[in-house]
A and B are shown apart, each in its own frame.
Chain A
Amino acid sequence: MKALLKRGMTTLTLLLMIAVFAGCASEGTTQGANEENNSQSNGQVGDYPEKPIQVIVPAGAGGDTDANARLLGKYLEEELGQSVVISNVTGAGGTVGAREVLDADADGYTVLFFHNSLLLNRILGLVDFSYDSFKLAGIPVLDHGNTFVVSGDSPFEDLQDLIDYAREHPGEVSIATEVGGFTHLQLLALEQDQDIELNIVDVGGASDKVAALLGGHIDIIPTSLGLVKDYIESGEMRTLGIMSRERVDIMSDVPTFTEQGVNSSFEKFFFYGFHPDTPDEIVETFSQAVERVVQTEEYVAEAEEFLVTPTFMSPEKAFEYIQETEDYYIELSEE
C-alpha cells in the first residue's frame, strides 16, 4: 500500500513538473538572446525587459487583431530579447481586455494591442476609458482594406448598384455587422452620406460574417480585404471597393469608396498601449523596438500578405492621429 502510494505521488509530481516545464519552455528558447541584449543596454532603463511581456489582445484567436498581434510579437521577441506572450482576453466588445491592462501593474510587462473599437466603446457610453487612458507606445500597422464584400453571384457589381437598389427598396438589402463595432460605424456613415436605409443585422465576428455570406443568409458583409482575399480570387466573393482615401499599392486594382461617389473613408489602426503610470523609459524602449520591427523587411513582406500596411507612428503622432479619428467618429455618431 505504501509503495503504491509513493508511486502514485511520484507520477502526479512528474505530471505536474512536465506541465510546468511546458509553460516555461517558450521562455527558455529566447534566453540566449536575452543575455546578449542585457550586456548591450547596461542598466539605463532598469534592464527592461527582464521577463516575458504579455500582450493583451481583447479579441478572439484567429481574427485579424490576433493575427497582427502574433506576427508583430514574433519579431518583437527578437528585438526585445524576451518572449512576447499573446493573451486573448475576450468579452464585452474588447473592454474586458482593455480594462485588464489598466488593472495590471504599471511595470511595462502587460501591454494592450487593440484597434478603433476602443474609441467606440466610450463614444457609445459602454465604458469611461479610451485611448487617452493609456500611455501609447505607437501605431505599428494600418489596415486600408476595409471593404464591403458581396457573394460572387450577387446582382451588385459596384457600390453604385447597391446604393441605387437600396434607395428604391429601403430596408431590403441586408448587411452584416457587430452592433457597436467598427463596421457598424461604417454602415451608419454610408447610410447618412447617401441617405439610404439598409437592414443592419448582427451576425457576429469576422469568420461568422464570412459564413453568413457564403451561406446566402446576408447580402453584404463589411470586412477586411486580407481576410477574404482567397474567396475573391476564387470568384466566390466580390469586393465593392475599399474605404481608404486613396488607392493602396498592395491592392491597386480595388477602387475606393470616394472614387465611387461615397464620401466616407475609414482606416483601421492597431496600437500598443501601456498602463498610464508606466515609466517613460520603458514605453520608449518598447516603442523603439516596435519601430525597428516595422522597418524589418521580412516583417513588412509577411504583413503585406495579410494586405495590411506597416506604418510606424511614434506615441505622440499616434495620439494626434487617434484624437482626430475620435473627433470624426463623434461627429458621425451625433448626426
Chain B
Amino acid sequence: MLELFVEGLSAVLNVKSILLILSGVALGLIFGSIPGLTATMGMAIVLPMTFGMSPMEGMALLMGLYIGGISGGMVPAILLKLPGTPSSIATTFDGYPMAQKGQAGQAFGYAIVFSFLGGLLSIVILMLLAPPLAQVALQFGPYEYFAVTVFALTMISSLAGDSLVKGMLSGLLGMTMALVGSAPIDAFPRFTFGYDALDAGFNLLPVLIGLFAVSEMIRVSEQKIGQGQSVRHTMKGFGFTLRDFFKQGRNWFRSSLFGTGIGILPGIGAGTANIIAYVTAKNKSKHPQEFGKGTPDGVVASESANNAAVGGALVPLISLGIPGDTVTALLLGGLMIHGLTPGPLLFENNGDIVYGIFIALIIANFAMIAFLYWGMRWFTRVLSIPQYILLPVILVLCVVGAIGVNNRIFDAGALLFFGLLGYIMIKFRFPIAPVILGFILGPLLETNLRRGLMYSQGDFTPFFTEPIAATFLALALISVVVKVSNIFRNKNKSGPKGINTGV
C-alpha cells in the first residue's frame, strides 16, 4: 500500500496536476456558492474538457471540483439562509442566525475548518477501509433501505419547530409533492392531470431553492427595504479560540462518521447526512435550546457531515463502480471515458490512479481551506449590498439554476410555485425543513417498500426479521417513544422548544 501511495504521490505532485486541482476547487466553490448552480452542473460542464487530458489530470480537476462544489454551499447558506445545494440545508439553521447576530465571520471560521477536518477524516477512512466498507454497503437491500428511511423520517420530530403536528404535516406535504410524476417501478403517471411536463415530477433543486430562497425573498420584500448591514471584517484567524476548537471535538468526530456512513449508502447521500448529523448533535447536546438560534455546534455538525459524505460516496464508486449520487455518477462516466472501469479490478490494474485520486482529494481539501479563508472577508461583504440589489440578482441566479437542472423552462415555473408555497407556510408558521426531508425520503421509502415486496412476493415479514432492517426499525420506534415521552414531561413546563426552522 505504501508503494502505491508513493506512486500516487508522484502521479499528482507536478505543477500541471496541482494547478488543475486548484482551478477545480476554485470553480467548484463558485458553482457551490452561487445559489442554483450545483456541483453536478459544474461537473457536467467540465467533464468534456477532461477528455483531452490524461486520466490522472482529468481526475485531479474533477476531484477539486467535487470538494469545492460541496464546500461552496456554505457561503449562501450562512449569508442568505439559502442552501446552495441540498448538502448545506442544515448549515442554514444556525449559520444564518449567527450571521444575523453579526457573527458571519465566526460562522465561516467554524464551517471552513470543520469542512476541512470532516473531509480529511472521510478521505482517511476511504483510503484505509474502502473495500471492506463497500462490502457492508452491499448488505443493504430494499428491506434495509426501507428501515433506514423510516428511521431518517423520525428526524422530522426534531426539526418540527414549536408544533409537532405542523412538523408532521410539513413532512407529509413533502412526501405528497414527491408523488407527482411517474411512479417508481412501473412509471405509471400520477397526479399529472394529463399535463406532460409533470411526467417527470418535481426536481429537487427547484423545490429546495423555491421553498428556502424564493419564499424568503418574498417575505423580505414585504418589509421596508434595508440598506444592508455594514460589515467590518476585523476578525483574527478563524474567529474562535483553541478551547472552542477542542470543545467541538466530539461533535466533529460523530458528525463526520455519520456523514461518511450515510455517504456510503448509494441513494441517500450528503443531502440527508447533514440533517441527520445536525439533529443528532442537537439531541446529544447539553444545551439543545441554543440550536436554531445561532450556535456554532449546529454549523460544525452540518459542515463536517456534508464534506465527510464526499469520502463516503467515493467508497462504493471506487471499489464497486456504483455511484451514490448524481455527482459520482458523472465521475463514473469520466472514469469510463478514460478506459478506467471502477470495480473490483481498479485497485489491481490502476492502483496508481486510485491513490492519485486520494492524494488529489487531500490537496483539494487544503486548497479549499486556503481559498475560503482568503475569500471569507469578501463573502461577508455581500451582506453590505442593499437588499433591493442583492435579492433580484439572486432570484435571477436561482431561475437560471432551476432551468439548468434539466434544461426545461417548466422547472422555472416550479421554482416560483414552491416559492409561493414556502411563503404561505412561513405565514402560517409551518416549518420548511421537514418538507424537504419528506420530499427526499418519500420516494426512497416507496421504492424500497415496493421492491422489498417484489422480492418477498408480497410478504411483509422480512422487513422485521432481517437483522439490519429490524435494528433500524427498532431505533425508529425508540426515537418516537422518547420524543413523545419528552413532550408529555415538558407539557407543564415552558421548556425548550424545537428549533425554529420555519422562518
**Interface size bracket, A side:** 35 or more
Interface residues of B in 298-354 (CB under 8 A from A): 316, 320-323, 326, 328-333, 336-337, 339, 341, 343-346
CB-based contact B34/A15 at 8 Å? yes
Shortest distance from the beta carbon of A41 to any chain B beta carbon, whole Å: 24
Do A22 and B27 form a contact, CB below 8 Å, given A215-B141, A305-B339?
yes
User: Which chain A residue lies CB-closest to B379?
Assistant: A11
CB-based contact A61/B329 at 8 Å? yes
CB-based contact B200/A22 at 8 Å? no
> Does B199 count as interface, using CB distance less than 8 angstroms?
yes
CB-based contact A91/B344 at 8 Å? no
Choose, from A185-193, A199-207, A243-251, the stretch at the interface.
A199-207
Please report the number of residue pairs spanning A and B whose Cβ atoms sit closer than 8 angstroms. 182
CB-based contact A26/B49 at 8 Å? yes
User: Which chain A residue lies CB-closest to B346?
Assistant: A230
CB-based contact A26/B48 at 8 Å? yes
Do A66 and B138 form a contact, CB below 8 Å, given A22-B30, A99-B196?
no
CB-based contact B454/A22 at 8 Å? no
A67, A95, A207, A212: the one contacting B337 at CB < 8 Å is A67
> Does A211 count as interface, using CB distance less than 8 angstroms?
yes
Central interface residue in B27, B48, B49, B344, by most chain A CB within 10 Å: B48
CB-based contact B344/A100 at 8 Å? no
> Does A214 count as interface, using CB distance less than 8 angstroms?
yes
CB-based contact A61/B330 at 8 Å? yes
Q: Which residues of A contact B141 (CB under 8 A)?
A: 212, 215, 217
A180, A207, A217, A306: the one contacting B323 at CB < 8 Å is A207
Q: How many residues of B contact A (CB 8 A)?
A: 71
CB-based contact A202/B454 at 8 Å? yes
Do A211 and B138 form a contact, CB below 8 Å, given A29-B49, A62-B333, A179-B186?
yes
User: Which chain B residue lies CB-closest to A11?
Assistant: B378
Shortest distance from the beta carbon of B231 to any chain A beta carbon, whole Å: 8
Interface residues of B in 20-64 (CB under 8 A from A): 27, 30-31, 33-34, 37, 42, 44-49, 51
> Does B2 count as interface, using CB distance less than 8 angstroms?
no
Do A215 and B181 form a contact, CB below 8 Å, given A61-B332, A174-B455, A179-B186?
no
Choose, from B112-120, B383-391, B481-489, the stretch at the interface.
B383-391
| Binary contact readout A92-134 vs B (1 if CB under 8 angstroms, 0 otherwise) | 1101100110000000000000000000000000100000000
CB-based contact B321/A210 at 8 Å? yes
Can you list 10 residue pairs at the A/B interface with Cβ under 8 Å? A8-B378, A11-B381, A19-B31, A91-B201, A100-B408, A199-B457, A211-B137, A215-B138, A215-B140, A217-B142
